[in-house]
Structure 1
């Protein structure tokens, strides 16, 4: 099927934000008088939404605090750290410009809280490329459930099979495979324990500009 739209994950696909997310986690741990953890450790926790991230951090620290007790502190730090040092991955701007020149509609489907996405995109000067944004709290479901991808395809007015998902994790892969949306995976993101070479994907790419060669 001809590619009629492209749907991007955000963190780990377009933007390297692991340092900022790690700082938010560590400030939350500071509030609880708990030891900080490495950015590499937090990077391995990213991808399934903020509540799962904080749950994992609390479990790792062995602390007996409820999620509802800790989330307000984490969300305050997450807002404060959002624009601390995010960076676009190499080739992102050029790739988005090329897709726009092909008149392909684009959207974001991320597990990041929806209120945090527009300021991040604006800060990085890529907000103009995306017709729609689906965040982790936009629907009752979030990735790896298929509904966010199905919903964004409907917003774009395109069949699910005609949209191409671009992501970096097992969360993205499962959501796309379940929704019936083809997916291209990037090697440079927050892949965690995903075996990229065994993934059911259209392609696995080393840099985002390679995506242009896989637009049907």
Structure 2
């Protein structure tokens, strides 16, 4: 079946933002007089939304703090660190330009808070490629629920099974499976404990430019 639209995850798929997210987490921990954690550790926590991220950081630190009480401080730091040092992965700009030249509609479906997505895309020079953004707070549900991907397809005016999801994690894989949307996974992102080679994906790519060969 021909692909008529592409829905991209953001962090770990298009953008390496782990350093900035880790710094936001660590500034939050600083404010609670808790020890900082390594960026590599935080990379393993990214992808399930900010609430889970903060809750995991608090559990890791042994704090008895409730995540909901810490969220306002974390969000302040998240905003402050958003444009600190994000970078596009190799091949992202080339791939987006090639898809745009083919007239391929594209959207972002991420668990990142929706208000933080446009400034990040603008900063990196890729905002103009995406017709729609579905963030982690755009709907009552977030990935791995099916609704964000189904909503992305609806916004693009395409059938779910004719859209292609591109992501990097078990959260993306489960969301695609739940929605009935085919998925291509990238190997370079934040896979956490996902066995990429055993995943039921259309393909696993090392460079996003390889995606172009999987889109008819």
TM-score (norm 1): 0.99
Runs ≥4 in structure 1, deviation > 3 angstroms?
none
Q: Which residue of 2 aligns with 1:105?
A: 105
1:186 aligns to what? Answer: 186
1:169 has 2:172 as partner: no
- Distance, in Å, in 1 between the alignment partners of 2:86 and 2:206 is 20
1-structure distance, mates of 2:22, 2:88:
17
* Alignment check: 8 A CA contact 2:167 2:173 kept: yes
The question of whether the paired residues in 1 share the 8 Å contact of 2:91 and 2:208 is answered with yes
What 5-or-longer segments of structure 1 have no aligned partner? none
1:149 is aligned to: 149
CA distance in 1, matches of 2:66, 2:101: 48
- Aligned partners of 2:166, 2:35: CA distance in 1, in Å? 35
**Mapped partners of 1:196, 1:27: distance in 2:** 32
What TM-score, normalized by structure 2, do the two folds share? Answer: 0.99
**1:103 CA drift (Å):** 0.2
Deviation of 1:92 after TM superposition, in Å, equals 0.3
The Cα shift of 1:161 comes to: 0.3
Query: Does the CA contact (< 8 Å) of 2:51 and 2:68 recur in 1?
Result: no
Deviation digits for residues 15-72 of structure 1 (CA, Å, limit 9, x no counterpart): 0000000000000000000000000000000000000000000000111111121001
CA distance in 2 between counterparts of 1:34 and 1:63 reads 8
Gaps of 5+ in 2: none
Aligned counterparts of 1:194 and 1:215: Cα–Cα separation in 2 = 24
SS at the partner of 1:7? Answer: strand
State the match for 2:31 in structure 1: 31
Instruction: Specify the alignment match of 2:77 in structure 1.
Output: 77
Q: Which residue of 2 aligns with 1:196?
A: 196
